[in-house]
Structure 1
Amino acid sequence: MRVMDDQAHAARTMWNCLHAWWQMMPKDKRTLAAADTQIRQARKDLDFLGKLPAQAAQAVLKTYFRAWLNCWEGRADEPAFKGRFRSVMSVDIPQGRDLQIQRVHRRWGMVNIPKVGRVRFRWTKDLPVGRKANADNRITGARLVKDALGWHIALRIQTLQATPAPHQGPEVGIDAGVNIPLALSNKDHQDHGRAPRLPDGTADRDKWLTPKEKAKLLRLEREAARRTSFREKGEKVSRRLRHTYDQIKQLRAKATRRALDWQHQTTTHLARRYGVIVVEQLTITNMVRSARGTIEEPGKNVKAKAGVNRSIAQEAWGRTVTMLTYKTARYGGALHKVPAPNTSRRCSACGFTVPGSREDQATFVCKNPDCGFECNADWNAARNILHLYRIGHVIVEVPAAGRRGRRAGKTVKPVAAR
């Protein structure tokens, strides 16, 4: 796989060269044709860039220009340089005819990688190859991505799908939490069976690992810390220490895959069952902001807040909403967002927000003398979320003019309660 590593590094270098060229050139000379000329000349002058196939180099150019278009249209931030250790190693294969995919076994297939040769890959889905391929149903390209567990291939498929019929399923409100990952308004809560906290109350950052894997991870981390203590400043990392780091990355990547698999299965189940899914509009970046403060005004309960932030980041609420958005559309449903303020503090039975009702993190007890409603706090929030949708407090997201990488939310208030 050394050849694929060289291609990935060449693709990253090509991106950085394009970004540097873009910053140096005047605006009137930043054209696709001029950039293409520079790429062709660079591949001739530098043998390292020549390791990247010509089609893959053109894909880097198109991706870079598309990144600027996304920035100008308000969907993303400005493109930036890609660091060697911070960016994901990847190579794009834009031509589907170059792949020459063949199925050789029930579980395995063979694919042709330019300048690499025939490579075996795991066959996980039915692909339009051979007689199944036609003008409307075919493979248009692929992307090679590397993580701690090795290289993986993602195939791009062009297919025609009929417009789904409107989903006739019920409405449901969902509250994303830590103790209960997804609490539903009808008590059909979705839990992954992983305790968010250890018996001592601290956040469990390795909850997706088995006890044996946790013990192995602890041993590897201690071993890496011991070997690091003997290193001099500026000394090259030893082969043994690098191998230990690789083993730690593999365990982390395995935990990430398990979390992603649970999210896919859960969101698919929800999209198939419910016709309307309502979630709250959360600004997660503000929720996970550090409580450390400044030297003049130090924060309070910094360690506890760091544990909560870690638990929120592990649940990946934003990714869950993204999955629900396109999966509900695939099955004919719809996803709506409502304002988040006071959804966890308002009583879903009487509708009043009384101070002190949310003293306990897990239980909601209404302090209204005429109510006294008591239930799970996440379930109460899910009921409030669904109620906001039914009375018409829905957020309509539109691109924000003049703000890069942000979307403005507009709350549509009802004329009359539905």
Structure 2
Amino acid sequence: MSDPCAVRQFSGHRARLALDAALARKIDAQAHAARALWNLLHVWWQMTPREQRVAAHADAVIRQARKEIDWLGALPAQAAQGVLKTYLRAWQNCWDGRAGAPTFKSRGKSTMSVDIPQGGNLQVVRVHRRWGTVSIPKIGHVKFRWTRHLPVGRNANGGNRITGARLVKDALGWHITFRIQTLEPMPTPHAGPEVGIDLGITVPLFLSDGTAFRHDPWLSAKEQAKLLRLERTAARRKARRTPGRPRSRRLDITYGQIAGLRAKAKRRALDWQHKTTTATAERYSTVVVEQLNITNMVKSAKGPLKAPGRHVRQKSGLNRAISGEAWGRTMELLAYKTARRGGSLVKVPAAGTSRRCSTCGRTTAGSRESQAVFVCKNPDCGWSGNADHNASRNVLHLYRIGLVVIPAAGRAVARRARRVKPATAR
């Protein structure tokens, strides 16, 4: 009998596949067939009258196409149904205002992927400590890197099981992402302290208790030099290319090497974010961050032709640095990790947190002497310290006085909530 206090959790786990050249070509063929099927569905959608655009008609079209087109047969039937469901869901998201209308998927720009909707067909087995095997439809048993406990064998039941998977290819090769369902006890309220966090670039995460999380560059000096050399080589080869002709094989190889280095940097960044957010969620009960409109923050300063902007190159470098830190992903990780541990993530207005003194509460001109140092110019205060530390203390204070951001009707609205705890001296 299942625990009535247990809650159902859904998560994903990505693992690297160990493929030889023949198996990689087979999965490539399935991914290309899935992309082509999406494009065929899009053509059928545009040519079909509105009243006939239903799932049953689309399913019949897919079945007929798989019979008549040989290379579409490389895609398993369940994966073809997954393409249809994804396409219909994309239109539903468009109608609900969550995304734009679906478009064609190009061969060079779209992500190669194959969906495996049924988890029972995977037959996941752990071979030994580092490797496991998974059965992929029309491919066979494939080894994958075992880095996390999975609900398989005796650990699998109605509440804990793998519900499906997805094969995804990036610059580092093919990976499999398992969709996992677990039944876990209801989390008890977290007993840890509250903390405010200031998101930055020089110091990615600065906490109100003085803790600072830093990281080294995602690529070593040797890797950065190699990336710069490859980018220059790609620029030269692209300039020599005749307009209207396909890219040369050398240019494709160079683009692949560049993508490999960038994918390696992204993987290291994601690993650091997971470790940092996990440590924060385990220690603190309430994590308070600023409500940032990152999309507006990374807009270009180029401006129109009639009114060109200033310091465009400096702003471009700042935009790249902000995008490289992936603040939005950090907040998403903190949101679900704090919730699973009985805590919560709260957002407060960001206006003035970096210019206001966290001790006297006043905003005095000239207090922000530099990007890293804050010295309060109020004669009655004079507090000095790290600017990011000062901002994180202000973030926490806004929460303690009840000024939090509450989503309302698709927009964030700052409201002064009922004060639960009085503001205390920090």
Settle same-fold status: TM greater than 0.5. yes
What is the SS of the residue equivalent to 1:84? coil
Which of 26, 29, 33 is matched with 1:3 structurally? 26
User: How far apart in 2 are the matches of 1:225 and 1:310?
Assistant: 19
Equivalent residue runs for 1:17-416 within 5 Å: 17-192=40-215, 194=216, 207-398=217-408, 400=409, 407-414=410-417
Q: Distance in 2 between matches of 1:26 and 1:92?
A: 28
After superposition, the Cα gap between the structure-2 partners of 1:360 and 1:115, relative to the gap in structure 1 and judged at 3 Å, is same
TM-score (norm: length of structure 2): 0.88
Q: Secondary structure at the match of 2:158?
A: coil
Question: Residues 88-131 of structure 1, C-alpha deviation per residue, up to 9 Å, x if partnerless?
Answer: 11110011222122222221112111122221111111222222
Change (3 A) 1:325 1:133: same
User: Residues 152-202 of structure 1: CA distance to partner in whole angstroms, max 9, x if unpaired?
Assistant: 00111222111111101100001100111011111111111x2xxxxxxxx
The CA deviation at 1:415 is 5.2
* SS of residue paired to 1:58: helix
Rounded Cα–Cα distance in structure 2 between residues aligned with 1:359 and 1:26: 65
Q: Secondary structure at the match of 1:160?
A: strand
Which segment drifts farther, 220-229 or 294-303?
A: 220-229
Amino acid paired to 1:110: T
Q: 1:306 to 1:7 in 2, by over 3 A?
A: same
Residues paired across the two proteins, number: 398
Distance in 1 (CA, whole Å) between partners of 2:303 and 2:240 is 34
User: Using a 3 Å threshold, how does the CA distance of structure 1 residues 22 and 237 change in structure 2: closer, same or farther?
Assistant: closer
**Residue identity opposite 1:57 in structure 2:** A
- Identify if the C-alpha distance between structure 1 residues 23 and 391 changes in structure 2 by more than 3 Å, giving closer, same or farther: farther
> Structure 1-normalised TM-score?
0.90
SS of 2:138's partner is coil
**In the alignment, residue 228 of structure 2 is paired with which amino acid?**
L
What SS does the corresponding residue of 1:97 show, helix, strand or coil? helix
Gaps of 5+ in 2: 1-23
Please report how far the alpha carbon of residue 74 of structure 1 lies from its aligned counterpart in structure 2 after TM superposition: 4.5
Q: Which moved more, 1:382-391 or 1:408-417?
A: 408-417
| Distance of aligned partners of 1:114 and 1:359 in 2 relative to their CA distance in 1, 3 Å threshold | same
Cα distance between partner residues in 1 of 2:190 and 2:418: 26
Unpaired runs of 5+ residues, structure 1, are 195-206, 401-406
Cα RMSD for the two superposed structures: 1.9
Distance 1:415 1:119, change over 3 A: closer
Structure (1/2) with the larger strand percentage:
2
| Bigger Cα displacement from structure 2, 50-59 vs 240-249 | 240-249
Matched to 1:286, the amino acid is: N
Number of the residue aligned with 1:202: none
